[in-house]
Amino acid sequence: MDETERGFGAHRPDLATIVEAVAVVLLVNAVGAAPGVAFAPDSAWFRELEKPAFYPPEIAFPVVWTLLFTLLGIALWLVWRADAAGRGRALGLFVAQMAANVAWTPAFFGAESIGTGLAVIVLLWVLIVATIAAFRRVDRRAAALMVPYLLWVTFAALLNFELWRLNA
């Protein structure tokens, strides 16, 4: 079955294809949001940290992360449905980077450790680059959908570094 028969091509996707895509997007959003429920950024510890001048308003984080997790869900769905060499490696890297993403919140907020958060986000950044490269070999659209995520995590790493520098 070629890409046009699988959905998002020249043919209109069937209901099962749409439901599958939405389910993957919702799953990625749920997994990505879960740590924020247990480790909220509104702790006294975090409020007392000195923030860099370029720290965005708090509302930016849930809005941006929801958009990014939605793009990641679509990218994952495209690779999941692909019949291409490297698919298994790409999916494995996606899981690894998602695990690192999920680990950042308890490392930073849960452990109240800016340095540990910085170490996790550097690992996350490397895993995202590797995932984009692996996705590119399977489905270029999926790789492109991950670029905004890489840009945001780069910004988040800079924020994490500045928090560490200002509060060390």
Give pLDDT, residue 11. Answer: 76
Give pLDDT, residue 156. Answer: 98
Q: Helix/strand/coil (H, E, C) string of 70-120?
A: HHHHHHHHHHHHCCCCCHHHHHHHHHHHHHHHHHHHHHHHHCCCHHHHHHH
Number of DSSP helices (H) and strands (E) in the chain, helices first? 7, 0
Give pLDDT, residue 42. Answer: 85
The tokens describing 69, both together, are: 């997790």
Q: Which domain holds residue 45?
A: 3-167
Look up the pTM and report it. Answer: 0.91
Each residue's pLDDT tens digit, 62-113: 999 999 999 999 999 999 999 999 999 999 999 999 999 999 999 999 999 9
Q: At 6, is the pLDDT very low, low, confident or very high (cuts 50, 70, 90)?
A: low
Q: At 123, is the pLDDT very low, low, confident or very high (cuts 50, 70, 90)?
A: very high
The tokens describing 93, both together, are: 């890297």
Number of domains in the chain: 1
